[in-house]
Amino acid sequence: MGEPKKPPGSGRSTYDLIDKDRFFAALDVRKSMVFLDLGSGVGNYTIPLAEAVGPTGHIYALDAWEEGLASVRERASKRELNNITTILADAHEGIPLDVSSIDGCLMACVLHDLLREGSGEVVLRETTRILKPGGKLAVLEFKKIDEGPGPPLHIRLAKEDVENLLVPFHLTIESVSDAGKYHYLLVASRPG
């Protein structure tokens, strides 16, 4: 059968391209939160999120790429972070978490790939299902500009594209902020 197919974008991270201070200020991660890093890859966002929520919080790192999740586990172990659970799953087929079980979900430059695969609606429905009332969905995406790293312009999502995608899920746009030269962060919440 061969090796499992790597999801699009696996192995690459945008973490070193963003303005981390602006990103975390807009994300508003607090101690004791339960967060999902959807499409976590090797954990470049997972690890700082786990540090931010502290030992009383919890981070779920979900990816369909086992090699990336192995890296998350290894890095968490080296930092003695015991508040991370890795989940090997294809989000297109559902997210194996309970209804209203998380305070927030981060999609760091994965939504454009999900849409390219035609599964964005399924994943957004599932994400909305697992968010607690008042929970936040944070979507980090490449600006729709024809420069810098990232996917081709026709694949990139403008802020308005993401806002329109969230309308059917009754999520309220809370903020859209600049997260560096090439990225923006859109934060939406599930009504309480």
Residue 187 or residue 147, greater confidence: 187
Token duo for residue 47: 């690890």
Q: Please give the model's pTM, rounded to 2 decimal places.
A: 0.93
Alpha helices, DSSP H, located in the chain: 20-27, 46-53, 66-78, 111-116, 120-130, 159-166
Answer yes or no: are the C-beta atoms of 176 and 159 closer than 8 Å.
yes
**What local confidence, expressed as pLDDT, does residue 5 receive?**
52
Give me the residue label for tokens 């309220």: 172
Measuring CA to CA, how many Å separate 156 from each of 42, 115, 141, 146, 162?
22, 10, 8, 9, 10
Return the domain boundaries, the chain: 16-175
**What local confidence, expressed as pLDDT, does residue 35 receive?**
98
pLDDT tens column, 75-124? 999 999 999 999 999 999 999 999 999 999 999 999 999 998 777 899 99
pLDDT tens column, 6-47? 555 544 578 999 999 999 999 999 999 999 999 999 999 999
State the sign of the Cα–Cα–Cα–Cα dihedral 17, 21, 24, 25: negative
pLDDT tens column, 44-67? 999 999 999 999 999 999 999 999
The CATH number that domain 16-175 falls under is 3.40.50.150
Q: In what order do the strands lie in the sheet with 34-38?
A: 84-88, 58-63, 34-38, 102-108, 131-142, 183-189, 172-178
152 CB-side CA count, 13 A: 3
**What local confidence, expressed as pLDDT, does residue 177 receive?**
97
**What local confidence, expressed as pLDDT, does residue 12 receive?**
58
**What local confidence, expressed as pLDDT, does residue 1 receive?**
42
**What local confidence, expressed as pLDDT, does residue 4 receive?**
47
